[in-house]
Amino acid sequence: MNYRIFPPEELLYVEIKLPLSKSISNRALIVNALAAGSKPLADVAVCDDTSVLQKALASDSDEINIGAAGTAMRFLTAYLAVAEGSETVLDGSERMRCRPIAPLVDALRSLGAEIEYLGQTGFPPLRIKGKKLNGGSVSIDSGVSSQYISALMMIAPTMTGGLSINLTGEAISLPYIHLTVSIMEQFGAKAAFEGNVITIGAGQYSAPDNFSVEADWSAASYWYEIQALTCGWTALDGLVENSAQGDCKIAEMFRQLGVESSFESNPVRAHLEATPELTPRFEADLTDNPDVAQTIAVTCAMLGVPFRLSGLRSLRIKETDRIAALGAELLKVGILLATEQLEGDEIISWDGVRRPLTAIPSFDTYDDHRMAMALAPVAVFIPGIIIRNAEVVSKSYPEFWNHLRAGGFTIEEADGEGTE
């Protein structure tokens, strides 16, 4: 399904009920499944990633395919390793078979887990035999994916002696580790994160009576982008100001890109308003917030703001190689990204020089929801752009296109003509 998009005919004013946090929901689903006498969670994110995880947790099949859901792959690898008496083949899409799982598997094996690679070593599919693990101490590289660490953390209370996790290397996405601690504690676990060591005691999870999931800050990032490009007014329902979600930092980042945020607590809501304050050059280290890289890069490109974004080494192993994908798609609007590797980091930048636009671009999405949502607001500056395979947004934000329509955008089905 390809969509042709046209911008609102007048200044944007819209109130959006954001989807619930996918990051919180997926962690809560795993922890709740490990809790004694737990009931299904009343309210979690409605999207492909959480749906896949819910179905897997409820399944009694010995074969589980999680498609393109990377979080589910990491979390279920650990979960199934402690599911005593089970034997499961865990597989995913072709892209998932190219995404590394070795750091997590190595850590689990060092704790006694029985996990076998069924294809290329270091990658799914996996055969996992569940058993009681004794726990103790484990070391893991924290510079690849925080989800490996969160996966280990969430199963740690089930281990006989609890678990001490030593983080090696330069950690990325640290807010997600703190988010995992917060959710575990709400379910009764005892966890401490000091320096580069996470210590988790043995014990039994117990589900709280009133666990709730807040709105998703990653989803909010696209409305910050739209606000920056349209100069209208936007209200985002359910968005918590002092959130444990790492992507709440976008409120601070977008002040440099002409968007001011104010927050209400009753009802919980964020108000976005355009300001004339626009930085002449944008620089940010996104080590803790890699999922907003596409949003910021496209926003800066459309506003004509040169930028340099570092801390992006995890983007190569996401739903697609996001650095390569961004470079290819922004070239269609005359933006030539520069990339560099520096001391193990990945950096992208733009010097502000733009090539002439020769055709209305047709954007590819690479089976990546964030590519589709970050590129859609380009229609504000170039009416009639096409987003190919637009249905990919269902991975995290199924209502995205309907919400754009509610904001005044016109969205039509298209046959995909335009620049390649």
Q: Where does residue 146 fall: left (phi above 0), alpha (psi -120 to 50 degrees), or beta otherwise?
A: alpha
d(CA 325, CA 286): 18
DSSP category for residue 357: P
Cα torsion 397, 400, 401, 405 to 10°: value is 160
End-to-end CA distance of the chain, in Å? 16
Write down the residue that tokens 């500056």 correspond to: 381
One-character DSSP codes across 211-273:
---PBPHHHHHHHHHHHHHH--EEEEET--TT-SSGGGGHHHHGGGEEEEEEEEETTEEEEEE
> What contacts 136, CB < 8 A, 6 or more positions away?
111, 159, 161, 163, 164
Per-position b or e across 59-78, b if 16+ CB within 10 A of its CB: eeeeebbbbbbbbbbbbbbb
384: buried, middle or exposed (CB in 10 Å: 19+, 13-18, 0-12)?
A: middle
Write down the residue that tokens 């970050």 correspond to: 374
Both structure tokens of 14? 């819209």
Closest-CA residue to 384 (of 411, 407, 415, 352): 411
Segment holding 115, helix H or strand E: strand 114-117
If one counts every other C-beta atom within 10 angstroms of the C-beta of residue 19, the result is: 24
Closest-CA residue to 25 (of 250, 223, 212, 268): 212
For the packed helices 174-186 and 22-34, what is the interaxial angle rounded to 10 degrees? 40
Is residue 126 within 8 A of residue 89, CB to CB? The reply is yes
d(CA 247, CA 289): 6
Which active-site residues does the annotation give?
291
